[in-house]
Amino acid sequence: METRATEGPLAGLRVLDIATIIAGPMAATLMADFGAEVIKLELPGLGDGLRGFPPFKEGKPLWWKVTNRGKHFGTLDLRRPEGRELFLRMVARCDVVVENFRPGTLERWGLDIETLWQANPRLVILRATAFGQDGPHAGLPGFARIFEAIGGLAGISGPPDQPPLHTGYPIGDPIGALFGAFAIMAALWRVKASPREKGEEIDLSLTEALLRIIEVLAIEYDQLGHVRQRSGNRNQYSAPSDVYLTADKRYVSLAGSTERTFANNARAIGRPDLLEDARFASNAARVRHAGELDRIFGSWIAAHTQEEAVGAFRAASGTLAPIYSIDQIFTDPQFVARHAIVEVPDADFGTVRMQGLVPRLRHNPGRIRWAAKDLAADNDYIYKELVGLGEAEIQVLKDKNVI
């Protein structure tokens, strides 16, 4: 049995995770990374739907192992009276609950916010939903593509003459997770400041989280009436800034908006004369003549391999990057030097490699204790040590399929 002692700045914090798929669970996982004890409860016999997401190795879900790393895994049917009672006993011993059911679901099960606060007046509860707890769309289902579409991100992604694009990963979920984890810590800062403070209910709309990250679009429309359109890989606020194909049929991405970075980039391709051209005298002017700059820089890059191009720009302190696939990330010397990919203990495969902790803390950094486990792997710990049930009581609950 693994030690229950942990390390990290959130050691001593206990979180109940009853959320599913990615956004809510990942918010809890971020706290587990930094030392919180996170107890994940799933429906007996079924579990979280993320367990059914590919890819698989020997029938084991690999995505699951990352998104829910570092947690204890138990089962509980919250819809049953016995499950409700057990859950409230756990709530009394925890600091945070993370849930992402549609609005009204917990209330139908007799677990409304006032009931939770009766069990623990200082409880912080994160409620992550597609659209929030109220409003005309509150009851609609939500997935990352929904958040990305309605929140405005997909609409500005992709070439102007093609349909909007989603990324190759459901980015709306981890973005929501980051907002969720931050909100929990903000709420806990106040709750922990005084023993007289009450708990907090966090209403996280994952669609609004996507809207929040496209910062300038709202004020741009409000003040200028401008509706931002798709521009492919070309940056709309600096130039040159695009994706280019190299001589060895690989891709690089160019960035930079300041005068210094433009000067360095121009020197990287042997064109210091561009600095004297009035068309390129400022960033605003360069944006107006982005097409010409794309032609100049693109032609030079097309005549060089990815390694040659990146080397030339780095030598000139320019801002060109290779576009990596995951296998290149595993071998990149910067990622290797900083241990960005780490080995994590895993019950099925001994160890597995996944992303390390982000960001780094100097004095109390936390750690990844283990990859996510099988359904009900820690039921004995949860119901014996945390709840205080005996073997006979646990067996009765198992027989009734409550746990």
Which one of 173, 242, 346, 378 is the catalytic residue? 173
How far is it, in rounded angstroms, from Cα 64 to Cα 55? 9
277 is catalytic: no
Residues annotated as catalytic (active site), given as ranges: 173
